[in-house]
A and B are shown apart, each in its own frame.
Chain A
Amino acid sequence: MANYYSDHPELKFHLDNPLMKRIVELKERDYTESEKFEDAPVDYEDAIENYDRLLQITGDVAANIIAANAESVDLEGPHLENGRMIYASKTVENMEAATKAGLWGLDMPRRYGGLNIPMTTFSMLSEVISAADASFQNIWSLQSCIDTLYEFGSEEQRQKYIPRVCAGETMSMDLTEPDAGSDLQRVMLKATFDEKENCWRLNGVKRFITNGDSDIHLVLARSEEGTKDGRGLSMFIYDKREGGVDVRHIEHKLGIHGSPTCELTYKNAKAELCGSTRLGLIKYVMALMNGARLGIAAQSVGVEQEAYNEALAYAKERAQFGTKIVDMPAVYDMISRMKAKLDAGRSLLYQTSRYVDIYKALEDIQRDRKLTAEERDELKKYSRLADAFTPMAKGMNSEYANQNAYDAISVHGGSGFIMEYKSQRLFRDARIFSIYEGTTQLQVVAAIRYITNGTYVNIIKEMLENEVSENLQGLKERTAQMLEKLETAIATVKEHANQDVQDFLGRRLYNMTGDIIMSLLILSDATKAPELFEKSANVYVRMAEEEVNGHASYIAAFRPEDLEYFKAREAAAE
């Protein structure tokens, strides 16, 4: 039987990464929970076996239930009934299967009913589910909102909500409003304290809320009357059991049809404050968004894989001019690039997940005891790495998912344009990945300071010290030359000392950085497992070199006055 996990041994390769040992040790607090909980691992191998089993189960559910339902979900979509959102019937079936399989609240501590799995494992599950149906991955992975409630909510709130999420209740993060999209500081939804009932009340409208009719909402609202910026915003928990929030509209979208995107009206809805007032946007939403970005990176990798599978399967079957198209250079050029982007993008996803795991686990330990000096350094190091890598993993992978979905249609030719083939759905679904949880342009904004302040360059230099196998030496040297070009380009951009120029060229620096980091990651993977990654390493480094050289030339030749050629006419006329 098909299994979306075990059919792709690349996943197991990442599960067995050496850094996992430290992650699991921290997460499991030296395996002390095995005395209290029957499902807790007794040692490292036991933990990895648990994750492997969990991935097997999810891979089975993904391949045999979720993927089988995906077309029907795409066609039916959710609908509105008396202010309530009703999922597509097969989405309900997927949710029931996920509940029976126990796939909710997985990264929560066991004392609340979770399985205490690391983010790396969670990202793998996310990828596997997304490959089956990206729209279901949205609903499923929004359970990660519980991480934010766990981190910043009170013990009472944890005990009230976490077990419910572990039992299959869904979540949403209600941030966007009609006038507050990328710029969340403009959120207007009003929170007022009801002295009589001793609770908060929410009034206003939220828009574009994914899974907006969920059981438990995290809501960004303005609690400080008269304020206009992010410092007047707080985070609230709205429990659907209390009532007061209705769905006014469900959007008709290009893709991820199964994932309901709702407009919500809050009418005096009772809510609980999560954490402290005024920290809603500047602290909690930032944490929430970082988690969500990793989720989208995983969703993207799932679609990269599925698009590649579809293209390869079709190219192997389809014959023209008396030969299978997979054997034609123009076609295998496309397919090999798809695989290279997949392998490199996945490696970046899991490298990022591991960084997140280490610092999150240390932060969690810090809640119970003081960290040692070494632990504090470790926390600082990995927290910085996670901050730098998350916008890279999200931006690059969301673009790769789009590129792979586009190429999958190209490989299919005319058939790819026909609705009966899966490729068109992947193409439609992928389009949102580079938009929500921050567009690629905003990922560049989040990453750029790590590019200009040398964080990435230092990481790249460290990575260049790792040995690669003999036959990959040449590729490594070419990557080292790419770094020189990046350093020159960064220096050039800085010398201009012009913010517009930096913003304009930022994307190019970002792509160069991503290309080089992923080149080094795939070289390292190919050294450890040549049977899985050597081909991709050869394809990817060449592709990266082609792109880095192009960007380097562009930046070298660019003059600040050139910006005038690019400004939209209307703006120029003003």
Chain B
Amino acid sequence: MSLKIVVLAKQVPDTRNVGKDAMTAEGTVNRAALPAIFNPEDMNALEQALRLKEQYPGTTVGVLTMGPPRAGEIIREGLYRGADTGWLLTDRLFAGADTLATSYALATAIKKIGDVDIVIGGRQAIDGDTAQVGPQVAQKLGLNQVTYAEEIEKCEDGKLTIRRHIDGGVETVVAPMPCVVTVNGSAAPCRPANAKLTMKYKRATCPLERPADDKYAYLYEQRPYLNLNQWSVADVDGDPSQCGMAGSPTKVKEVVNIVFQAKESKTLTSSDADIEGLVKELLNDKIIG
């Protein structure tokens, strides 16, 4: 059995090693002051995909990312570790996307890629920390989803057996494919880049990334695998009004510093009273409204 796997990955500012210039005066992330890295939990997701590739010969792993041209680096990082291909969604019309517009773009690209068995990504990105994109992609594609995955234990009869990391323990679930899986940071760390693959793919770029006076430009014809897929809104037949700033209803109203006082999760029963209480709490905190 061979699988077609798409890994969702994002280039993010490295917020784990923040200095004093990490935030702008306006309260947004100062991207210039932080190095751009492969989102850590997306790395965990990539590892799960590569393990499936090792187990099931013929499986292909592709890395799908959205961002400015320099985000091509995310695809290369995937290729260095054993991914087969990648797609960079890059277009001014994609810029300024919130999670809704991002998941629209990704879902549209996945449809364009076609016949995907597993879409797998990190639980959340360290810049936004929303954990919304994976589930929204599943919703838009009408696929099953498994969140907080820690390990894909097996793949049999068109179903994945997945161990999830949940509050206070683990849970093993079985999900029919095709499905969307989001991976928790507690999953196995990703393997290092491979020397030979790095030498092979180090100049793999999408056209927009290439400098005008590149002395190795002749290689792009000789070695077709050095040409990365670069897709615009039109290339994925997307609706511009649902992309980027235009498709993003989220508006930042205010940014405040908070300190977590208690643990981040709460256990509720399924009683109406508990659920009503939670909804009221979220309304009061202006988390929903």
Q: Interface of A with B (CB < 8 Å)?
A: 38-42, 46, 49-50, 53-54, 57-58, 60-61, 65, 97, 100-103, 106, 115
- Of all chain B residues, which has the CB nearest A45? B215
Q: Is the CB of B192 within 8 A of A115?
A: no
Query: For B198, B199, B216, which residue has the most chain A Cβ atoms within 10 angstroms?
Result: B199
Minimum C-beta distance from A141 to chain B (A)? 16
Question: Once bound together, how far apart are the Cα atoms of A50 and B202, in whole Å?
Answer: 9
Given A42-B216, A54-B198, 5 other A-B residues pairs in contact with their CB atoms under 8 A: A50-B202, A53-B199, A57-B192, A57-B193, A57-B195
Question: Can you list 11 residue pairs at the A/B interface with Cβ under 8 Å?
Answer: A38-B200, A39-B199, A42-B216, A53-B195, A53-B198, A54-B199, A57-B195, A100-B194, A101-B194, A101-B195, A102-B195
Of the residues A46, A61, A102, A103, contact of B216 by C-beta under 8 Å: A46
- Of all chain B residues, which has the CB nearest A64? B192
Q: Is the CB of B198 within 8 A of A100?
A: no
B-side contacts of A41, CB under 8 Å: 199
Answer whether residue B251 sits at the interface, using C-beta atoms and an 8 A cutoff: no
- Of all chain B residues, which has the CB nearest A46? B216
Minimum C-beta distance from A110 to chain B (A)? 9
A-side contacts of B198, CB under 8 Å: 53-54, 57
Answer whether residue B196 sits at the interface, using C-beta atoms and an 8 A cutoff: yes
Question: Once bound together, how far apart are the Cα atoms of A49 and B195, in whole Å?
Answer: 12
Q: Is the CB of B199 within 8 A of A50?
A: yes
Minimum C-beta distance from A102 to chain B (A)? 4
B-side contacts of A102, CB under 8 Å: 194-197
Answer whether residue B166 sits at the interface, using C-beta atoms and an 8 A cutoff: no
Minimum C-beta distance from B76 to chain A (A)? 11
Question: A-facing mask of B196-240, CB < 8 A → 1, else 0?
Answer: 111110100000000000001001000101000000000000000
Minimum C-beta distance from A118 to chain B (A)? 14
Minimum C-beta distance from B48 to chain A (A)? 15
- Of all chain A residues, which has the CB nearest B223? A38
Answer whether residue B112 sits at the interface, using C-beta atoms and an 8 A cutoff: no
- Of all chain B residues, which has the CB nearest A50? B199
Answer whether residue B140 sits at the interface, using C-beta atoms and an 8 A cutoff: no
B-side contacts of A50, CB under 8 Å: 199, 202
Minimum C-beta distance from B82 to chain A (A)? 9
Question: Once bound together, how far apart are the Cα atoms of A65 and B191, in whole Å?
Answer: 10
B-side contacts of A103, CB under 8 Å: 195
Is chain A's binding surface mostly helix, strand, loop or mixed? Answer: helix
Of the residues A38, A39, A65, A106, contact of B192 by C-beta under 8 Å: A65
Question: Once bound together, how far apart are the Cα atoms of A46 and B219, in whole Å?
Answer: 12
- Of all chain A residues, which has the CB nearest B35? A1
B-side contacts of A38, CB under 8 Å: 199-200, 223, 225
> Do A54 and B195 form a contact, CB below 8 Å, given A39-B200, A49-B202?
yes
Q: Is the CB of B195 within 8 A of A115?
A: yes
Minimum C-beta distance from B144 to chain A (A)? 31
Q: Is the CB of A101 within 8 A of B200?
A: no
Minimum C-beta distance from A5 to chain B (A)? 13
- Of all chain B residues, which has the CB nearest A103? B195
Question: Once bound together, how far apart are the Cα atoms of A115 and B193, in whole Å?
Answer: 15
Number of interface residues of B (CB under 8 A): 15
Of the residues A40, A58, A100, contact of B191 by C-beta under 8 Å: A100
Minimum C-beta distance from B52 to chain A (A)? 15
Interface residues of B in 172-202 (CB under 8 A from A): 191-200, 202
A-side contacts of B197, CB under 8 Å: 39, 102
- Of all chain B residues, which has the CB nearest A49? B202
Question: Once bound together, how far apart are the Cα atoms of A106 and B198, in whole Å?
Answer: 14
> Do A115 and B196 form a contact, CB below 8 Å, given A42-B219, A53-B202?
yes
Q: Is the CB of B195 within 8 A of A97?
A: no
Interface pairs A-B: 10 shortest CB-CB? A39-B199, A102-B195, A100-B191, A101-B192, A38-B200, A102-B194, A39-B200, A50-B199, A53-B198, A54-B195
Minimum C-beta distance from A16 to chain B (A)? 18
- Of all chain B residues, which has the CB nearest A51? B199
B-side contacts of A42, CB under 8 Å: 216, 219
Q: Is the CB of B196 within 8 A of A39?
A: yes
Q: Is the CB of A61 within 8 A of B192?
A: yes
Question: A-facing mask of B46-75, CB < 8 A → 1, else 0?
Answer: 000000000000000000000000000000
B-side contacts of A54, CB under 8 Å: 195, 198-199
Question: Once bound together, how far apart are the Cα atoms of A39 and B201, in whole Å?
Answer: 8
Minimum C-beta distance from B83 to chain A (A)? 14
Query: For A41, A61, A102, which residue has the most chain B Cβ atoms within 10 angstroms?
Result: A102
- Of all chain B residues, which has the CB nearest A39? B199
Minimum C-beta distance from B252 to chain A (A)? 30
B-side contacts of A40, CB under 8 Å: 199
> Do A97 and B202 form a contact, CB below 8 Å, given A42-B216, A46-B216, A102-B197?
no
A-side contacts of B216, CB under 8 Å: 42, 46
Minimum C-beta distance from A561 to chain B (A)? 60
B-side contacts of A53, CB under 8 Å: 195, 198-199, 202
Query: For A42, A58, A60, which residue has the most chain B Cβ atoms within 10 angstroms?
Result: A42
B-side contacts of A101, CB under 8 Å: 191-195
Query: For B193, B194, B195, which residue has the most chain A Cβ atoms within 10 angstroms?
Result: B195
Question: Once bound together, how far apart are the Cα atoms of A56 and B193, in whole Å?
Answer: 10
> Do A100 and B195 form a contact, CB below 8 Å, given A38-B200, A42-B219, A53-B202?
no
Question: A-facing mask of B101-125, CB < 8 A → 1, else 0?
Answer: 0000000000000000000000000
Minimum C-beta distance from A33 to chain B (A)? 12
Question: Once bound together, how far apart are the Cα atoms of A39 and B223, in whole Å?
Answer: 11
Minimum C-beta distance from A58 to chain B (A)? 8
> Do A97 and B196 form a contact, CB below 8 Å, given A38-B223, A42-B216, A49-B202?
no
Question: A-facing mask of B67-94, CB < 8 A → 1, else 0?
Answer: 0000000000000000000000000000
B-side contacts of A60, CB under 8 Å: 192-193
Q: Is the CB of A97 within 8 A of B223?
A: no
- Of all chain B residues, which has the CB nearest A47? B199
- Of all chain A residues, which has the CB nearest B198? A53
B-side contacts of A106, CB under 8 Å: 195
Question: Once bound together, how far apart are the Cα atoms of A115 and B219, in whole Å?
Answer: 20
- Of all chain A residues, which has the CB nearest B37? A1
B-side contacts of A58, CB under 8 Å: 195
Q: Is the CB of B199 within 8 A of A97?
A: no
Question: Once bound together, how far apart are the Cα atoms of A215 and B120, in whole Å?
Answer: 38
Minimum C-beta distance from B4 to chain A (A)? 23
Question: Once bound together, how far apart are the Cα atoms of A80 and B67, in whole Å?
Answer: 53
A-side contacts of B219, CB under 8 Å: 42
B-side contacts of A61, CB under 8 Å: 192
B-side contacts of A65, CB under 8 Å: 192
